[in-house]
C-alpha cells in the first residue's frame, strides 16, 4: 500500500544539500532502512526532481520507492539507502586516490547509469563525486536529480545552474550561445560525460583536479581553468595508458570531440577491466574509507 511519513522513524541525518535534508529512516513495521529526502517547497527544481525520479528505474540509479505526502507542501522522496555514502565522502575519508581497478568499476557502473538516462532523454547535469552513491555490496548509483532535465524534442534545455561550477563543462559556461536559439547544436548529454571525467580524475588524484591544491574555487578561477586550462599532469606510473586515454576522451573541451556514453562503455579502460578484481577493489575502498 501507500507509505506515509508517520510509518518511518528518523534515525540520523545522512546529508544536507541545496534543496533540503536527507534522513536515514526505518520503516516501523518492517524495520527496513531507507533514505528520506525532504525537498523544500518552492526550491527551484523541486518539481523537476520529482518528475524525473518517477520516470527512472535502473540498477545504476538510486531508486525512489515512493513520493510521500506532506502537509507542508514539501516533497518527501523515499529513496533506496546507499550505505556506503557518496564518492565525495570516500575521497575525503582517506589519503590519496583510489586504486585504478576501483576507478574502472566506478566508471563502468556510472556509465551504465548514464546510458540508461541517455535512452530516456534525461540529462543529469550534476555528475560529480557527491552525487554518485555507493553501497557495501560495491554498487555505484547516480543520485540527486535536483537539476536534471528531460530533453525536449527540440533539443532545448536550461542553461541556468545553481551550485558549484567545479564540474560544469566548458560549453555550459557559454550561456549566451545556449540562449541564442543555438541550443540544438550543443549536445546536452556531453555535459554528463565531462562530469564523469572530472570525477574519475578526482578519485585518481584524491582531490579536486582542475585547480592547483589550495587555490580558492571561485567562479572566475573555475571558469578559467575549465575553459582554457591544461589538464593536470598525471605522474609517470600513476595511471595506465587506458586510464589516461579514458580521462582525455571525457575531458575534451570541445563537446563535439568528447566521447559519447556509448563510446566510453566500449573503451578499453572499462570494457577491458577484470570485472571480478575491480568490483573487489571498489568494495575494499568502501570498507577502508567509510
Catalytic residue of the set 7, 47, 126, 192: 126
> Closer CB to ligand ADP, residue 118 or residue 125?
125
Q: Which long-range contacts (CB under 8 A, 24 or more apart) does 21-29 make?
A: 22/79, 24/81, 25/78, 27/3
Query: Residue 260 CB, nearest distance to ligand ADP (Å)?
Result: 26
Q: Which residue has the cell 526532481?
A: 49
The helix/strand/coil state of 37 is strand
- For the question of residue 47 being annotated catalytic, the response is no
Query: Residue 217 CB, nearest distance to ligand ADP (Å)?
Result: 17
Query: Residue 14 CB, nearest distance to ligand ADP (Å)?
Result: 4
| Strands, E assignment, the chain | 8-16, 20-27, 33-39, 64-68, 75-80, 85-86, 122-123, 132-134, 140-142, 149-150
> Closer CB to ligand ADP, residue 44 or residue 96?
44
Beta bridge partners of 78: 36, 66
Cα distances (angstroms) measured from residue 74 to each of 14, 50, 119, 224:
18, 11, 30, 38
Are 92 and 124 in contact by the 8 Å Cβ rule? The answer is: no
Are 65 and 34 in contact by the 8 Å Cβ rule? The answer is: yes
> Closer CB to ligand ADP, residue 80 or residue 202?
80
- Cell matching residue 167: 564540474
> Closer CB to ligand ADP, residue 19 or residue 195?
19
Residues in contact with ligand ADP by the rule CB under 6 A? 14-15, 17-20, 22, 35, 37, 62, 79-82, 85-86, 130-131, 133, 143-144, 146
> Closer CB to ligand ADP, residue 19 or residue 97?
19
Question: For ligand ADP, which residue has the nearest CB?
Answer: 17
Are 124 and 145 in contact by the 8 Å Cβ rule? The answer is: yes
Pseudo-torsion of CA 282, 287, 288, 290, nearest 10°?
110
- Report the C-alpha gap between 67 and 18 in whole angstroms: 19
> Does 128 belong to an annotated binding site?
no
Query: Residue 170 CB, nearest distance to ligand ADP (Å)?
Result: 23
Neighbours of 254 (CB within 10 A): 9
Query: Residue 82 CB, nearest distance to ligand ADP (Å)?
Result: 4
* Residue list, annotated binding site for ATP: 37
Q: Which residues are catalytic?
A: 126
Amino acid at each position: 500500500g501507500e507509505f506515509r511519513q508517520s510509518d518511518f522513524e528518523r534515525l540520523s541525518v545522512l546529508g544536507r544539500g541545496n534543496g533540503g535534508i536527507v534522513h536515514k529512516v526505518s520503516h516501523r513495521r518492517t524495520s527496513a532502512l531507507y533514505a528520506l529526502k525532504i525537498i523544500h517547497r518552492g526550491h527551484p527544481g523541486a518539481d523537476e526532481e520529482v518528475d524525473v525520479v518517477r520516470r527512472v528505474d535502473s540498477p545504476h540509479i538510486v531508486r525512489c520507492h515512493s513520493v510521500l505526502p506532506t502537509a507542508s507542501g514539501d516533497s518527501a522522496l523515499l529513496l533506496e539507502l546507499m550505505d556506503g555514502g557518496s564518492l565525495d565522502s570516500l575521497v575525503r575519508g582517506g589519503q590519496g586516490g583510489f586504486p585504478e581497478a576501483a576507478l574502472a568499476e566506478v566508471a563502468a557502473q556510472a556509465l551504465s547509469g548514464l546510458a540508461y538516462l541517455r535512452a530516456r532523454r534525461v540529462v543529469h547535469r550534476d555528475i560529480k563525486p557527491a552525487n554518485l552513491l555507493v553501497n557495501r555490496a560495491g554498487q555505484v548509483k547516480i543520485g540527486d536529480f535536483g537539476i536534471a532535465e528531460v530533453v525536449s524534442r527540440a533539443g532545448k534545455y536550461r542553461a541556468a545552474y545553481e551550485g558549484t561550477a567545479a564540474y560544469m563543462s566548458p560549453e555550459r559556461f557559454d550561456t549566451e550561445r545556449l540562449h541564442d536559439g543555438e541550443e540544438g547544436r550543443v549536445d546536452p548529454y556531453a555535459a554528463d560525460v565531462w562530469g564523469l571525467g572530472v570525477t574519475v580524475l578526482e578519485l585518481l588524484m584524491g582531490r579536486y583536479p582542475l585547480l592547483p591544491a589550495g587555490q580558492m574555487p571561485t567562479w572566475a578561477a573555475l571558469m578559467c581553468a575549465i575553459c582554457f586550462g591544461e589538464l593536470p599532469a598525471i605522474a609517470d606510473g600513476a595511471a595506465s595508458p587506458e586510464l589516461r586515454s579514458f580521462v582525455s576522451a571525457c575531458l575534451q573541451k570541445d563537446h563535439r570531440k568528447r566521447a559519447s556514453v556509448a563510446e566510453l562503455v566500449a573503451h578499453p579502460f572499462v570494457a577491458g577491466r577484470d570485472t571480478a578484481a575491480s568490483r573487489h577493489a571498489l568494495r575494499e575502498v568502501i570498507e577502508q574509507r567509510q
